[in-house]
Amino acid sequence: MAGADCDVLIIGAGLGGTALALRLAEAGCDVAILSKKAPALSSSNWAQGGIAAAVGPDDSPALHAADTLAAGAGLCRPETVELVTSQAPACIDWLIERGVEFTRENGPDGPLHLAREGAHSRRRVVHAADATGEAIMSALLPQARTHPRIRFLEDLLAIDLITARKLDPAADNRCLGVYALDRDQGRVRTLTARTVALATGGASKIYLYTTNPDTSTGDGIAMAWRAGCRVANLEFVQFHPTCLYHPLAKSVLISEALRGEGGRLLLPNGERFMPRHDERGELAPRDIVARAIDHEMKRGGFDCVYLDVSHLPADEIREHFPNITRRCAEFGIDITKEPIPVVPAAHYSCGGVVTDLDAATDVPGLYAVGECTWTGLHGANRLASNSLLECLVFAGQAAGSIQRDLAEWRDPGISVPDWDESRVTDPDELVVVSHNWDELRRFMWDYVGIVRTGKRLERARHRVELLQEEIAEFYGNFRVTNDLIELRNLALVAELTIRSAQARRESRGLHFIRDYPDSLPDEDAVDTLLSPTIGREPLALR
């Protein structure tokens, strides 16, 4: 282990991973960033809306915190909310210093233009038109690529974390690195590091319909669980209310900012329906809007509903939403003149790997940032535009903690073996993998979607356990492939999501179950913590 490949190995090249790498490299650490596809394909790069931060004259971190707590429906961790909302303005400054060009009023030297999204009491969403993630990553990635202390390991798919406990049950546990499939060469590489950080994003690909890129397969959550980390609140899956409904469209998100600027949700007959479901109308939290759309579609037998902004000035629409205007036009929809057909789709995982306020997990030497984590920020429902913010804040928290960890690092004296393929052969029928992938995503959509029942969850649990038996047999007998690794991770995260949903006997936030339609009093609400059966001391959350 003395010859570790780097100080810090970061798995994932989205905003959390890139921001962490820059902070660590600027502090003198040698960093490697592993990504299974080009960083431009990360969820961060796809983010449209923006970053919530109390930078307006009528706003404050306390107001931002109050809105976050309200959206979280009684399950936010107050100390996390305070940390994140108080650091938000400094995060915006950090990005501006690094060249991110946010949309401004009255020209390039004017004040930041602040958008308003659902459940926000103020205009506080700092954005770059309607492609904020792309603007941020376009500024940060070149800086990371050219930094002498950062190297990129692209086209590598992490398979499993290497821990001391796995290699020697009597050893003090610590993360030592990762096994990763080199997708170009078809071989498994062994990568060691003094510290590892997960920044792998969420797991929305467990569902048939999602706004996320194909990379969102829950890899970090699954690997952390197998390494001995707890997970929390995986039942809270945020379904974005408005994804473009078109036979040729795939994962085209229609930003919540359209509703923030006055967009109206309509039935096919042109009737506005949201005021019937919530007094805030289209500005209600995402879970309420998604359930309302789901209810209206099922009640009326509709394939979709419609989001209409055509009553707004056409020039204003084109200026504030150029990318959405362009993407809809590619499918023959002129949003300045006609409504947009939309449906809900899986969008964000509010639960994940349990971390403390320094982004440390249950396994020493293993950190996690971003959507793959549970930090306590989002509670039972994420407030819009808090996700990129969480990445930035916890990248900073992790950077400080990792530096302290490295200063105290001692070689564990464990030899890390290479990946053993001596007892496996090439797969004979890959159709088994593709069929199981399709089946998993479909029954998760049907049984563990926006509205759940106990019977549906039981059916899903039964199906996923059968799939896992087939996957385990395939994994144990054949050489690993990209699709098999991702399917293995998806099936595990699906199982953990189902178990979490079964454990919550109430409806709260993003989890709505007909068997228990009411919420418990907030003082009785608890997080859903699942723990793998690996002997260790659990993380003390502070």
Please check the confidence at residue 391 and state whether its pLDDT lies above 80: yes
User: How much is the average pLDDT of 326-331?
Assistant: 96
Rounded CA-CA distance 431/433 in Å is 5
| Residues 18 and 33 sit within 8 Å (Cβ to Cβ) | yes
What are the pLDDT digits (tens) for 468-483?
Answer: 999 999 898 889 999 9
Residues 6+ apart with CB under 8 A from 251: 46, 210, 211, 212, 213, 243, 345
Give me the residues paired with residue 373 across strands: 353
Predicted pLDDT at 1: 52
What are the pLDDT digits (tens) for 280-309?
Answer: 999 888 888 999 999 999 899 999 999 999
Please check the confidence at residue 221 and state whether its pLDDT lies above 60: yes
Predicted pLDDT at 257: 85
For the ranges 7-11, 147-151, 254-258, which has the lowest average pLDDT? 254-258
Active-site residue identified among 116, 174, 189, 286: 286
User: How much is the average pLDDT of 184-212?
Assistant: 94
Predicted pLDDT at 256: 84
**Of 514, 542, 426, 536, residue with least CA distance to 163:** 536
382 among known catalytic residues: no
Please check the confidence at residue 456 and state whether its pLDDT lies above 80: yes
Rounded CA-CA distance 329/303 in Å is 21
Predicted pLDDT at 46: 82
Predicted pLDDT at 373: 98
Domains of the chain from N-terminus onward: 6-235+350-407 (3.50.50.60), 241-346 (3.90.700.10), 431-517 (1.20.58.100)
Residue 152 DSSP class: E
Q: What percentage of the chain has pLDDT greater than the value 90?
A: 79
Tokens for 347, please give them.
């969008």
Cα-only R_g, the chain = 22
**Cα three-residue angle 194-377-34, rounded to 5 degrees:** 30
What are the pLDDT digits (tens) for 515-527?
Answer: 999 999 999 999 9
Residues 6+ apart with CB under 8 A from 202: 43, 212, 216, 218, 348, 349, 352, 371, 372
Predicted pLDDT at 43: 87
Is the pTM above the cut of 0.85? yes
Rounded CA-CA distance 75/527 in Å is 7
Please check the confidence at residue 431 and state whether its pLDDT lies above 80: no
Predicted pLDDT at 4: 80
| Residues 85 and 61 sit within 8 Å (Cβ to Cβ) | yes
3-state SS assignment for residue 460: helix
Predicted pLDDT at 208: 87
**Farthest-apart Cα atoms in the chain, separation:** 70
Backbone angles phi, psi at 387, to 5 degrees: -80, -50
User: How much is the average pLDDT of 151-167?
Assistant: 96
User: How much is the average pLDDT of 360-379?
Assistant: 98
Please check the confidence at residue 540 and state whether its pLDDT lies above 80: no
Helix axes 219-227, 482-503, angle to 10 degrees: 70
Q: Which of 40-44, 150-154, 478-482 shows the highest mean pLDDT?
A: 150-154
Confidence of residue 369 (pLDDT cuts 50, 70, 90): very high
Confidence of residue 40 (pLDDT cuts 50, 70, 90): confident
Please check the confidence at residue 542 and state whether its pLDDT lies above 70: no
**Cα three-residue angle 356-359-361, rounded to 5 degrees:** 70
Please check the confidence at residue 246 and state whether its pLDDT lies above 70: yes
Predicted pLDDT at 3: 64
Predicted pLDDT at 507: 97
Predicted pLDDT at 538: 42
Predicted pLDDT at 109: 86
Predicted pLDDT at 42: 85
Backbone angles phi, psi at 178, to 5 degrees: -155, 145
For the ranges 68-77, 206-215, 272-281, which has the lowest average pLDDT? 206-215
Predicted pLDDT at 541: 37
Q: What's the mean per-residue pLDDT of the chain?
A: 93
DSSP for 426-446?
--S-THHHHHHHHHHHHHHHH
3-state DSSP of 21-34: HHHHHHCCCCEEEE
Predicted pLDDT at 413: 86
Please check the confidence at residue 275 and state whether its pLDDT lies above 70: yes
Predicted pLDDT at 424: 83
Confidence of residue 224 (pLDDT cuts 50, 70, 90): very high
What are the pLDDT digits (tens) for 64-73?
Answer: 999 999 999 9
Predicted pLDDT at 537: 42
Predicted pLDDT at 534: 47
Predicted pLDDT at 286: 81
